[in-house]
């Protein structure tokens, strides 16, 4: 799947602006709510994450070694600030970062994917569902298959087929042994580790899901349903 830097930039920006709109409607109590998809984070922490990435990368401060420590520092540095202050910083820093995405799509495509995923983590946390059929969701569902392709190879598994809103995409080597037929939003959440094991088993997979699970989810599955 070839995606231009301009498309990645535009969908990152569109997702950011939607998240900023949601943030403007939130109370202080909302900002302290736990994000069930990322249970170590509050809503403010989630915004600190996306803001910190944009600020650090556009400011020439990429991770050195442990990327988790880099992410943790970004959140810690903003822990005493208000949600609106963090969102204002993102609004200020993001345009330069968005041009970096456009210029370096091979290196930064994952951050468009990450932002769209976190947009819907946010929406679920504050009960503001919406834009599940956006261009960003459709793009991110297909970007997520790049992660699946890498994980299939690491796990020594064969190809996987996704039929997303009727469009077939195959990743991996050989003949597909597992197929998922679903919408772009459900594909994004199923393959993005946002569904419990029971929800995965109830989803419209065709083939031996349990054998393939390590190759199609990138992180640990949630213990409790997100209720989406």
Residue 1, pLDDT > 80, answer no
- Over residues 204-226, mean pLDDT: 96
Structure confidence at residue 65 (pLDDT): 84
Same domain, 82 and 101: yes
Max intra-chain CA distance, the chain: 52
Q: Are residues 156 and 49 in the same domain?
A: no
pLDDT at 56: 97
Where a domain ends, among 125, 154, 173? 125
Query: Residues 117, 13: one domain?
Result: yes
Indicate the helix (H) or strand (E) that contains 213: helix 209-216
Question: Does 199 lie in the same domain as 112?
Answer: no
The predicted structure's pLDDT at residue 181: 98
Tens of pLDDT, residue by residue over 76-126, are: 999 999 999 999 999 999 999 999 999 999 999 999 999 999 999 999 999
Structure tokens at 23: 């943030």
For residues 128 and 122, give the distance between their C-alpha atoms in angstroms, rounded to a whole number.
8
**Domain boundary residue among 91, 125, 159?**
125
What's the whole-model pTM score?
A: 0.96
- Give the number of C-alpha atoms closer than 13 A to the C-alpha of residue 119, restricted to the C-beta side: 29
Pair (19, 113) in one structural domain: yes
Domain count, the chain: 2
**Structural domain span for residue 27:** 5-125
How do 160-164 and 178-182 pair as beta strands?
parallel
User: Does 101 share its domain with 211?
Assistant: no
Q: Report the chain's mean pLDDT, rounded to a whole number.
A: 97
Residue 66 sits in the same domain as residue 164: no
Does residue 120 share a domain with residue 16?
A: yes
Q: Please say whether the beta carbons of 193 and 3 come within 8 A.
A: no
Q: Are residues 143 and 116 in the same domain?
A: no
Average pLDDT over residues 187-212: 97
pLDDT digits (tens, 9 = 90+) for 159-174: 999 999 999 999 999 9
Instruction: Verify that 17 and 103 share a domain, yes or no.
Output: yes
For residue 112, being part of any structural domain is answered with yes
Counting residues of the chain whose pLDDT is more than 70, the rounded percentage is: 100
Per-residue confidence (pLDDT) for residue 2, from 0 to 100: 87
Say yes or no to pLDDT of 148 above 90: yes
Claim to verify: residue 98 and residue 160 sit in the same structural domain = no
Question: Model confidence over 45-70: pLDDT tens digits?
Answer: 999 999 999 999 999 999 998 899 99
The answer to whether residue 228 sits within a structural domain is no
Domain boundary pick from 77, 92, 125:
125
72 and 141 co-located in one domain: no
């Amino acid at each position: 799947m070839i995606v231009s830097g301009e498309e990645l930039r535009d969908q990152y920006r569109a997702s950011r602006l939607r998240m900023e709109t949601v943030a403007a409607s939130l109370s202080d109590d909302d900002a302290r709510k736990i994000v069930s998809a990322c249970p170590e984070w509050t809503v403010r922490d989630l915004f600190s994450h996306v803001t910190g990435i944009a600020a650090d990368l556009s400011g020439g401060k990429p991770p050195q070694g442990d990327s988790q420590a880099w992410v943790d520092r970004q959140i810690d540095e903003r822990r005493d600030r208000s949600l609106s202050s963090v969102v204002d910083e993102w609004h200020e820093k993001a345009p330069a970062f968005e041009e970096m995405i456009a210029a370096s799509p091979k290196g930064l495509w994952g951050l468009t994917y990450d932002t769209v995923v976190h947009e819907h983590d946010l929406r679920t946390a504050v009960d503001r569902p919406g834009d599940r059929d956006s261009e960003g969701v459709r793009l991110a569902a297909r970007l997520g298959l790049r992660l699946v392709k890498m994980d299939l190879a690491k796990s020594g598994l064969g190809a996987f087929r996704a039929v997303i809103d009727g469009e077939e995409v195959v990743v991996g080597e050989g003949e597909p042994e597992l197929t998922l037929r679903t919408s772009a939003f459900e594909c994004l959440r199923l393959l993005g580790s946002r569904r419990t094991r029971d929800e995965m088993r109830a989803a419209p997979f065709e083939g031996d899901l349990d054998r393939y699970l390590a190759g199609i989810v990138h992180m640990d599955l949630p213990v409790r349903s997100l209720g989406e």
